[in-house]
Amino acid sequence: MKLRILLADDHKIVRDGLRNLLERDPEIVVVGEAEDGREALQLARKLAPDVVVMDIAMPDLNGIEATRQILAEIPKIKIVALSMHSDKRYVSEMLKAGAAGYLLKDCAFEELITAIKTIARGKIYLSPGIAGVVLEEFIRTGAGADASAFSLLSDREREVLQLMAEGRTTKEVAAQLHVSVKTIETHRTHIMAKLDIHSIAALTKYAIREGLTSL
């Protein structure tokens, strides 16, 4: 039986290239493509792929949050991050979210195939360049981790912060998340209080620095 793959990347040219290369392998079939994390979540529910190849920096819902939500609902799915970011914060938070693999976009195509087949067997796969980052983070965490958006804010607060940073109005965020405007205003108040940041411009800079959005 072929491995069923879902591709999640906000650049169509990347998805097209990955589909073309992956489907040259007789053991793999690409069953769907998503252009942001929210669509990836919807397609994961609908298609139940074996593996999701997940970009991190995507609009609307980033790859870290999408990974967390997908695995909370469908834990049998395996997720491998394919990202341009080697920063330890991206790597550590993606792995904490439950990703079974992490590769950089400059890796050889053969490495992606190896990673997909490795994590499909229930193992972990990290690019050689990432392994050192993971070890460094493990040592640092043992000495006490730095506060970050992922430790200070709830899952929903991070979603709200990303959408706000991407220029959505309070009403638009409420509609996107299917809650009331008052609920979003409450989340915004809590976010500002927790971070001690009191302007949208400063929140946007913070969200970019923390990897919640690449805008």
Write the CB contacts of 47 (distance below 8 Å, at least 6 apart in sequence).
Answer: 4, 6, 31, 32
pLDDT class for 206, splitting at 50, 70, 90? confident
pLDDT class for 146, splitting at 50, 70, 90? low
Task: Give the model confidence (pLDDT) of 94-142 as tens digits.
Answer: 988 999 999 998 888 899 999 999 999 999 998 877 766 666 665 555 4
Percentage of residues of the chain with pLDDT beyond 90: 61
* Whether pLDDT at 143 is above 70: no
State the pLDDT at residue 144: 46
* Whether pLDDT at 75 is above 50: yes
Structural domains in the chain plus CATH codes: 3-142 (3.40.50.2300), 149-209 (1.10.10.10)
- Check: pTM over 0.85? Answer yes or no: no
113 versus 213: the higher-pLDDT residue is 113
Cβ-in-10-Å burial (0-12, 13-18, 19+) of 11 comes to exposed
Task: Give the model confidence (pLDDT) of 8-31 as tens digits.
Answer: 999 999 999 999 999 999 999 999
Q: Residue 28 pairs with which residues in a beta bridge?
A: 3
DSSP labels, the chain = -PEEEEEE-S-HHHHHHHHHHHTTSTTEEEEEEESSHHHHHHHHHHH--SEEEE-SS-SSS-HHHHHHHHHHH-TT-EEEEEES---HHHHHHHHHTT-SEEEETTS-HHHHHHHHHHHHTT--EE-HHHHHHHHHHHHHHHT-PPP-HHHHS-HHHHHHHHHHHTT--HHHHHHHHTS-HHHHHHHHHHHHHHHT--SHHHHHHHHHHTTS---
Region 41-66 average pLDDT:
95
